[in-house]
Amino acid sequence: MKGAVLRKPGGFNDIYKHKPGADKDRTHYCPGCGHGILHKLIAEALEDLEITDRTIVISPVGCSVFAYYYFNTGNLQVPHGRAPAVATSVSRANPGSVVISYQGDGDLAAIGGNHILQAANRGENITVFFVNNAIYGMTGGQMAPTTLEGMKTTTTPYGRNPATDGYPMKVAEMLNSLYAPTFIARTSLHDIANIRKTRAAVRKALQYNMEKKGFSIVEVLSMCPSNWKLGAVESQNWIRDHMLEVYPLGTLRDRGAEVAPRVRPRPELDPARVRETLGLGEGSGVKLERPKETPVYPNPSVRIAGFGGQGVLSAGVVLANLGLEYGYNVSWLPSYGPEMRGGTANCSVKIQDGTIGDTEATKPHVLIALNRPSMEKFEPIVASGGTLIYNSTLIDVTPSRKDIRVLAVPITGLADELGNTKVQSMVAAGAFAAATGLFALDDIIRLLPSLYSGEAIVKLNEKAVKAGFDFVRGIKS
Amino acid sequence: MARKLMKGNYAAVYGAVLAGCEAYYGYPITPASEIAEAAAELFPKLGRTFLQAECETASINMVYGAAGCGKRVMTASSGPGISLKQEGLSYCAGSALPCVVVDVMRGGPGLGNIGPEQADYNQVVKGGGHGNYRVIVLAPNSCQEMCDLTMLAFELADKYRNPAFVLTDGVIGQMMESVEIPEPVASLPDKSSWAVKGDADTKNLINSIYLAHDELEAWNNRLLEKYRAIERDEVRFEEYRMEDAEYAVIGYGCISRVLRTVVDDAREKGVKIGLFRPISLFPFPKSAIASLPSRGIRKVLTVELSTGQLVDDVNLALGGRLISDFYGRVGGNVPSASEILGRISQLYGVKI
Amino acid sequence: MDGPRKYPFCEIDQEECKGCGLCVNACPAKVLEISSHLNSRGFHPSSYKGSGCLGCGTCFYSCPEPGAITVYLKDYVPEGV
Ligand SMILES: Cc1ncc(C[n+]2csc(CCOP(=O)(O)OP(=O)(O)O)c2C)c(N)n1
Ligand code: SF4
Ligand code: SF4
Ligand code: SF4
């Protein structure tokens, strides 16, 4: 009959099979250690709430690094301080599970300080059991963020001095400054009344976890007789006499009744849905017949340069997109980084039938220069016999190269006449098409709706392409 | 099959989605941020998880958690972030967890700059965290490969229960190319024998602790066997115009694209030169490189965007039969084809 | 077990107990004591004096060892009875 006997709770493994050595029936904890009591309260709650079979416990680094020996649940052992990060993804991977992050005060408040804050702030569906024993247990008694003022540890041999070591960190209060957490309590293991309060807090936190009500944490003041160098009972008394005034007990927050369950989405893996979502229904990229006229450059490499904001990069994207639609291999390489921020930008576009090697147009067949510095910088590298289209609205010098074709096109002016200098990139694209014969005007216009949305915008860009195209054809004839 | 124009960074996310990656955990850093941005756009549309973590340490630990639960999961970053991820990667390797990390390398050390570099080679290819471990490293040189090799990375990660890297650089990440989009994977591997699922049947344990010295040594030996199998079965490389070559240039990633142009240009001048491009950096194509001298190669030039990292592995593979020459640029500079051709003619006295 | 058991009572696993004394200190009826004998792991285990248990569970919840203490409460009915 359940309830009529208090025995090792079902949340524990009968035999600690992962524990090395012969002692597979008892814990690795020191006599009188608070970890064991908290373990028992958790294991009992898992059994009573009937969640042992859907709980995942995250073991930290600290004395509870081996918590996975004991809990008859799914278990992950994780790097020092990172348990809240791991718990985050574990709970999202298994939204139906109860995920517990079990951590000591070095783990949670020192190395993992940011992780606990952020997980709490996201309101993750996890429960954190936080053992505050004011010391680093596992490594032999060094100072923790929670170490009391004046308290001697192996790294504060003269006592913790706030002037050099800071003050005891009040984690529950800190987390209570965040909006997201659902349940925050601090309890203690120093006597049976408080152990029972801890028991109630553990259950409440897990209950909210089962209901998917977000983040809950129980900070538990806990004995470390070994490193405090006290007996077990003396350690309980030490909590009562020294820790309580620094770490007041109580429920700091309980919003369980108000909080709506957090539902996580189910991942969609069906190939048909994936294809649809990525827009992969359109078949092969070869949609357009290439123009009848032989292009001036069969595999052109193009450089476009100007001020940032002149549409340099997007002009390149338009050309690359057009090339793609005609079934070419295309590449587009932007300048990026400080240069872009400093106000100049350039990109290289290659449009070829074969494999594209270097994607930088180091000897471009076509240079489109939208401002003077760009023309001065890139004119020298244009391939002999190449074409330089320069923006005669803004560039008041004429190019000096005699072995290339030079086309003066008032790109900014034409765009401005259309009422929007933003369409310079499309004017440039039109000019490029006319100058190279690589793309047909009608094809570009037909493609515009796939590149821009909104009828007015498409119409404006159509006019821009035409303006650039017609201007260059006007020069040619 | 659909073709799309897309950035390398975007293509990596396409590859991940197609490979059934269920979760992305990342932290922004140029020039890898578009990977996070693309994942933020695409993942939620398919009910998959995108989360911007508080830092790279958190994100790799989130990857550890999701991988431990048997999910296909990824993260991406660049040098400074990869340095932070090394702890978590060591745990992933030590717990035999499959996951995919994309490193879009930038200039270092320290904050360096955001220009392209290949200076993370050592910290990625050699297993940059603590302990004896290796990660699978694939080095794409096109947007197409960003997609394809990301998919392959998921497959190999699962096959070997090991982290896999896509090691790329700012150039490949930022540029756009036409990409033929492969079919989405139809089914994912069953990991219930080891993954933690939070149910009654799979009360598994994910862990990298082996207290007994002999046990840890045995585990290391098992990992070693795995790495040997990877070295035996997963070497990938590409050769270009190597058939009758007397000179070989070696490079991976963006620089291999420039080297392809170098080879074409030099061949036009009658120089018998070819390109050897490692695609897998771990496993490293040791024996293919070792055999270069016996195939008639007289000179080897390794070119990379670092002060000399890949070249060490090339020379180890060559085993003293030849010593590779080296040409490297850093700081965000990418050498042009003509710059490299100049170096070749200077080194080998050939007229180009 | 010799003779009919008087419920409630407390049973301490002499091997699992680490002799920390938390239960002894906490028991309101003072019916637990640290034994003079050593268990195989070198601890003086706690033990029940044999009578006077109130079935309050204090010792059970105060004990850090998962299986060291079993308390049979007043309404416990042994199997087969
Ligand atoms: C990255 C890293 N740094 C340091 C350590 C060493 N270390 C192990 S446990 C620990 C402190 C544990 O203290 P706490 O979290 O308070 O847990 P307790 O042992 O007191 O339960 C430290 C510093 C480690 N394992 N990993
Ligand atoms: S060192 Fe302290 S915290 Fe660690 S097991 Fe011993 S008593 Fe517990
Ligand atoms: S149940 Fe209560 S009365 Fe009985 S031994 Fe335990 S603490 Fe003492
Ligand atoms: S509390 Fe538990 S371990 Fe400690 S003496 Fe009592 S029975 Fe033994």
CATH number assigned to the domain comprising residue C60: 3.30.70.3270
Residues A250 and A337 in one domain: no
The complex scores an ipTM of 0.94
Measure the CA–CA gap between A192 and A180, rounded to whole angstroms.
32
Q: What is the DSSP string of A8-73?
A: S-TTB-SS-TTS-SS-TTS-SSPTT-HHHHHHHHHHHHHHHTT-GGGEEEEE-SSGGGGHHHHBSS
| A93-97, A336-340, A448-452, range with the lowest pLDDT | A336-340
Reported confidence tier of residue A216, pLDDT bands at 50, 70, 90: very high
> pLDDT at position C4, please?
60
Residues A214 and A302 in one domain: no
- In this structure, is residue A26 part of a structural domain? no
Q: What residues of chain A, 2 to 21, have a C-beta less than 8 Å from chain B?
A: 18, 20
Residue A112 sits in which domain range?
Answer: 35-254
Residues B206 and B189 in one domain: yes
The string of pLDDT tens digits covering residues A56-98 is 999 999 999 999 999 999 999 999 999 999 999 999 999 999 9
Q: Measured from the CA of A103, which atom of ligand 1 is nearest?
A: 15
Reported confidence tier of residue A293, pLDDT bands at 50, 70, 90: confident
Could you say which of B233, B258, B291 is where a domain stops?
A: B233
- In this structure, is residue C2 part of a structural domain? no
Residue A328, classed as helix, strand or coil, is coil
The string of pLDDT tens digits covering residues A138-168 is 999 999 999 999 999 999 999 999 999 999 9
Nearest to A332 among B42, B175, B258 (CB): B175
> Per-residue pLDDT averaged across C34-55, rounded?
96
Residues B165 and B264 in one domain: no
Instruction: Report the mean per-residue pLDDT for chain B.
Output: 97
> pLDDT at position A178, please?
98
Measure the CA–CA gap between B150 and B144, rounded to whole angstroms.
10
Residues B203 and B64 in one domain: yes
Contact flag A6-C71 (C-beta cutoff 8 Å):
yes
- In this structure, is residue A344 part of a structural domain? yes
> pLDDT at position A67, please?
98
Residues of A in contact with B196 (CB under 8 A): 56, 74-76, 90, 94
Measure the CA–CA gap between A217 and A125, rounded to whole angstroms.
11
Q: Hey, is the C-beta of A39 within 8 angstroms of any chain C C-beta?
A: yes
- Contact assessment for residue A404 and residue A384, using Cβ atoms and an 8 Å cutoff: yes
The string of pLDDT tens digits covering residues C4-41 is 678 899 999 999 999 999 999 999 999 999 999 999 99
- In this structure, is residue C81 part of a structural domain? no
Reported confidence tier of residue A1, pLDDT bands at 50, 70, 90: very low
Could you say which of A224, A254, A284 is where a domain stops?
A: A254
The string of pLDDT tens digits covering residues B4-23 is 999 999 999 999 999 999 99
Environment class of C22 (CB within 10 Å of its CB; exposed 0-12, middle 13-18, buried 19+): buried
Task: Classify each residue of A216-234 as buried b or exposed e, where b means 16 or more C-beta atoms within 10 Å of its C-beta.
Answer: bbbbbbbbbbbbbebbbbb
Distance between A13 CA and the closest CA of chain B, angstroms: 11
> Per-residue pLDDT averaged across B287-306, rounded?
98
| A78-92, A326-340, B320-334, C54-68, range with the lowest pLDDT | A326-340
> Per-residue pLDDT averaged across A288-305, rounded?
93
Res. C2: pLDDT tops 60: no
Distance between B49 CA and the closest CA of chain A, angstroms: 8
- Contact assessment for residue A7 and residue C67, using Cβ atoms and an 8 Å cutoff: yes
Residues A243 and A351 in one domain: no
> pLDDT at position A451, please?
84
Find chains touching chain C: ≥3 CB pairs under 8 Å.
Answer: A
Report DSSP state, residue B54. S
Residues B294 and B250 in one domain: yes
> pLDDT at position A337, please?
58
Measure the CA–CA gap between B36 and A106, rounded to whole angstroms.
31
Residues A419 and A333 in one domain: yes
Report the CATH number at residue B229. 3.40.50.970
- In this structure, is residue A3 part of a structural domain? no
Residues B173 and B288 in one domain: no
- In this structure, is residue C1 part of a structural domain? no
Number of domains in chain B: 2
Q: How far is CA C56 from CA A32, A50, A335, B23, C13, in A?
A: 20, 24, 76, 49, 18
Q: Token pair of A443, please?
A: 């094809």
Could you say which of B233, B258, B275 is where a domain stops?
A: B233
Residues B144 and B164 in one domain: yes
pTM of the model: 0.94
Q: Token pair of C38, please?
A: 């050593």
- Contact assessment for residue A217 and residue A205, using Cβ atoms and an 8 Å cutoff: yes
> pLDDT at position A41, please?
98
Res. B67: pLDDT tops 70: yes
- In this structure, is residue A15 part of a structural domain? no
Residues A135 and A279 in one domain: no
Q: Hey, is the C-beta of A330 within 8 angstroms of any chain B C-beta?
A: yes
Environment class of A51 (CB within 10 Å of its CB; exposed 0-12, middle 13-18, buried 19+): buried
Residue B332 sits in which domain range?
Answer: 238-348
- In this structure, is residue C77 part of a structural domain? no
Nearest to A267 among B46, B171, B337 (CB): B46
Residue B105, classed as helix, strand or coil, is strand
Could you say which of B185, B213, B233 is where a domain stops?
A: B233
Residues B222 and B311 in one domain: no
Residue C28 sits in which domain range?
Answer: 9-72
> pLDDT at position A284, please?
45
Report the CATH number at residue B250. 3.40.50.920
Res. A309: pLDDT tops 90: no
Report the CATH number at residue A193. 3.40.50.970
Residue C71: CB within 6 Å of ligand 4?
A: no
Q: What residues of chain C, 21 to 80, have a C-beta less than 8 Å from chain A?
A: 21-22, 25-26, 41, 43, 57-58, 60-73, 75-77
| A26-40, A330-344, B261-275, range with the lowest pLDDT | A330-344
Number of domains in chain C: 1
Distance between A163 CA and the closest CA of chain C, angstroms: 37
Length of chain B: 352
Reported confidence tier of residue A477, pLDDT bands at 50, 70, 90: low
Closest CA to A406 of A380, A387, A393, A378: A387
The string of pLDDT tens digits covering residues B121-176 is 999 999 999 999 999 999 999 999 999 999 999 999 999 999 999 999 999 999 99
Q: How far is CA C23 from CA A27, A105, C28, C75, in A?
A: 17, 26, 10, 22
Residues A298 and A416 in one domain: yes
- Looking at residue B256, its amino acid is S
Could you say which of A254, A284, A318 is where a domain stops?
A: A254
Residues B338 and B247 in one domain: yes
Res. A475: pLDDT tops 90: no
Measure the CA–CA gap between A85 and A112, rounded to whole angstroms.
9
Residue A227: CB within 6 Å of ligand 2?
A: yes
Length of chain C: 81
- In this structure, is residue C78 part of a structural domain? no
